[in-house]
Amino acid sequence: MAFTFSELPDIHDETQEIYETSDIESSGAENEVADQPFFQNEEIDNDAIDVTTAREKFSKNVLVGEVEVDFSGRVLGKQPIHRSGYQALSCDETYEQKLSRIRREVEELRLQDASVSNQKDPIELDQTLTKLEEAVKTHHVDQAGVEAGYSDRIKVAFEQADQFLKQTASQKENSSAIGTQKDTSAILDLEARIHHLERMLGHQDAGMSTAGSRYSVPINTVLQEIEKKLNLVLHSPQLTKELEKLRDLSLDTKRRSAFTHTKNEDPPDDSPRPEENIEREREVDAALEKIAEVNRLGSIVPSVISRLKTLQTVHSDMANAVQVANDIDSSLTDIHSDMSRWNDSINQLNLKLDAREETFKQNKKNIIAKIDQLSSRIDSLHS
């Protein structure tokens, strides 16, 4: 018995069929507009970009996928956990990129050294940059020999720059040697002036008891004694009073001499004798001369004291330098003695090794002989 839907209740065969359609209805024109870019601008290039060309121009690093990737988290194995995923590889620089990088670095060095007082290094950098630019301008070869031509011209340019820098360095070494000779002559001149000053001060022949010492009395002691004497001469109230008395006495003597010359009378009995007057005048003149000498020395002595202090500093520095040189000599002597002891130890070790080797050879021969005897005995037993 055939089963039909008409036999079922509430089913109508004559009703219109209903099909499910999309909720959003759009026309073809709207679809075409949706395919177009979101906005259009004449100044923006929306053309397709070649990935290889863009990578050569802009990209320095390339992400390369791992062929065998292990995500299990194992520490050991062919692919450890820290190598799972991608690898970042750097692309090789092209000729244009390498030259631009070198030009930029040379320009940065030139700008960095422009503020230095010595202008030789910026000039050298400018010349190197000029040579590199000339190498770029004069380099026109076919595409087949690009790599060889580039490498040859870069090599020649850098060889020329290196040769120029070596010549400049040799010139600097020569100038430094000349400056060292000038410094040596200046030191010798200063030493001669110091010796002349010492001879003028009267300390040349004092204290020659030892060969290493130049003075029997230290310079500090001499300076302190000189300072005490000057303070005593310049700032002593008793000396000032005596000088005032001498000035008054000299004025009185001048008045009396003038009075005796004006009057042609015999001197009274209580007047001093001519010999005493002459002796007193001599003493007054000597005292006045000493006063003038003291005043003159008052302006010279401070500079002499400062120079002597400078001389003391120079001598202390020279003593330190001599001490350092002596320490270096003693260290070198110790090193030589240690090396000689090491050589003796090595020689003794070699002799002992030779003796051990001879003993080993002799023992080897004895053992081989015993083995041969044992073998012969075993053969005789078997036979």
Q: What average pLDDT does the segment 277-305 reach?
A: 78
pLDDT at 169: 64
| CA nearest neighbour of 157 among 179, 191, 134 | 134
Confidence of residue 365 (pLDDT cuts 50, 70, 90): very high
Q: Greater confidence, 26 or 152?
A: 152
Instruction: Say how far apart CA 319 and CA 284 lie, in whole Å.
Output: 49
pLDDT at 355: 94
- Mean pLDDT over each residue of the chain, to the nearest integer: 70
Amino acid at 262: T
Whether the predicted pLDDT of 209 surpasses 50: no
Instruction: Say how far apart CA 305 and CA 308 lie, in whole Å.
Output: 5
Q: Greater confidence, 286 or 155?
A: 286
pLDDT at 210: 40
Q: What average pLDDT does the segment 308-315 reach?
A: 89
pLDDT at 351: 94
Give the DSSP letter of residue 83: G
Instruction: Say how far apart CA 83 and CA 66 lie, in whole Å.
Output: 8
What are the pLDDT digits (tens) for 171-202? 666 665 565 666 677 777 787 777 777 665 55
What are the pLDDT digits (tens) for 331-354? 999 999 999 999 999 999 999 999
3-state secondary structure of 144: coil
